[in-house]
Amino acid sequence: MASGTTTSLPVRGSFGQTMRADNWWVQPVLVALGLGVAVLYLNVAAFLGEYYAFGNYLSPLYSPEIFGDTPHALFGPKPSIWPEWLPWSPAFLILWAPAGFRLTCYYYRGAYYKAFLADPPNCSVGEPRQSYLGVWWKPTTWNEQSFPLIMQNLHRYFLYLALLFIALLSYDAWHALWFIDPATGEETLGLGVGTLVLTLNVILLGGYTLGCHSLRHLVGGGLDVLFDKPVRRTAHACVGCLNKRHMLFAWMSLYWVCFTDLYVRMLSMGIWTDWRIF
């Protein structure tokens, strides 16, 4: 309140204090579980460093395979300069980019501030700390204009990388249409369940990436007048359309990436068999 005000605001509520009669805790618990399970799976899959390719299929967690031991590797095996003491996985070279894109995503920010920092636990529900986003041993006011949360403003740079990944994963989906004929050794057009899994993966990731708030701003949202710019006006409308379903695509794409990796992994380990449609 402005200085000199004589009236006082109501006393702050304690953690979880609310008059809400609904199960307000369900949403943050589900988000915490949903994100926690996905992050755990992605970390385990990245650290394993093997069973990530099967024939013409490549797990999206390892694409592009810059260095690696499969035929998909762009520049051959692990570089010799990689320190022996440092764990190695081809995924380490690339996963930071999509991880950064999701970590700085406007939707995920709101979701994990609620689910993991309880700031707030849910709307109209008391918080565990009086300080804003501070921790109990260091009450402070964090915001997205000071370190470390100022890094959230890098979102548009991660977007540029994410768009590049969409192109690369689209190539992987295309590549998943071409199977090596064991008899002739030649590539022939085919369609396996894995092809559909990889294709749906890039569609969902595309829906998520192309609905990004930063992209919406960059294609036209940053301008006040779009009337005389039909291409940007259309692009702004299209991104806005996907943006309305940003949360849906965020969750679907996150879990489909995990499933796509699992599918390729199970094929590679010989546990599942890829069914060829033709």
Element (H, E) at 29: helix 26-48
Of the candidates 121, 111, 212, 234, the residue with the CA atom closest to the CA atom of residue 166: 212
Q: Torsions phi, psi of 9, nearest 5?
A: -80, 160
Rounded Cα distance, 219 and 222, in Å: 8
The nearer residue to other proteins, 141 or 184, going by C-beta atoms, is 141
What x/- string results for residues 115 through 134 when contact with other proteins is judged by CB under 8 A? ----xx--xx-xx--xxxx-
The nearer residue to other proteins, 219 or 267, going by C-beta atoms, is 219
The nearer residue to other proteins, 72 or 216, going by C-beta atoms, is 216
What 3-state class would DSSP assign to 57?
strand
The nearer residue to other proteins, 213 or 265, going by C-beta atoms, is 213
Rounded Cα distance, 263 and 278, in Å: 19
Q: Is 156 in the site for other proteins (CB under 8 A)?
A: yes
Q: Smallest distance from the beta carbon of 173 to other proteins, in angstroms?
A: 30
What 3-state class would DSSP assign to 200?
helix
Return the residues of window 15-44 that contact other proteins according to CB under 8 A: 18-21
Selected from 136, 141, 186, 278, the binder of other proteins by CB under 8 A is 141
Structure tokens at 269: 């380990």
Question: For residue 204, what are the contacts with CB-CB under 8 A and spacing of at least 6?
Answer: 249, 252, 253, 256
Q: Smallest distance from the beta carbon of 231 to other proteins, in angstroms?
A: 14
The nearer residue to other proteins, 196 or 247, going by C-beta atoms, is 247
Counts for the chain of helices (H) and strands (E), in that order:
8, 4
Rounded Cα distance, 208 and 232, in Å: 19
Return the residues of window 86-115 that contact other proteins according to CB under 8 A: 106-107, 109-110, 113-114
Return the residues of window 169-228 that contact other proteins according to CB under 8 A: 213-214, 216-217, 221-222, 224-227
Q: Is 7 in the site for other proteins (CB under 8 A)?
A: yes
Taking CA atoms, 270 is separated from 6, 193, 205, 261, 273, in Å, by: 73, 15, 27, 14, 7
User: Which residues lie near other proteins (CB under 8 A)?
Assistant: 1-3, 5, 7-10, 12-13, 18-21, 106-107, 109-110, 113-114, 119-120, 123-124, 126-127, 130-133, 141, 143-146, 149-150, 153-157, 213-214, 216-217, 221-222, 224-227, 233, 243-244, 246
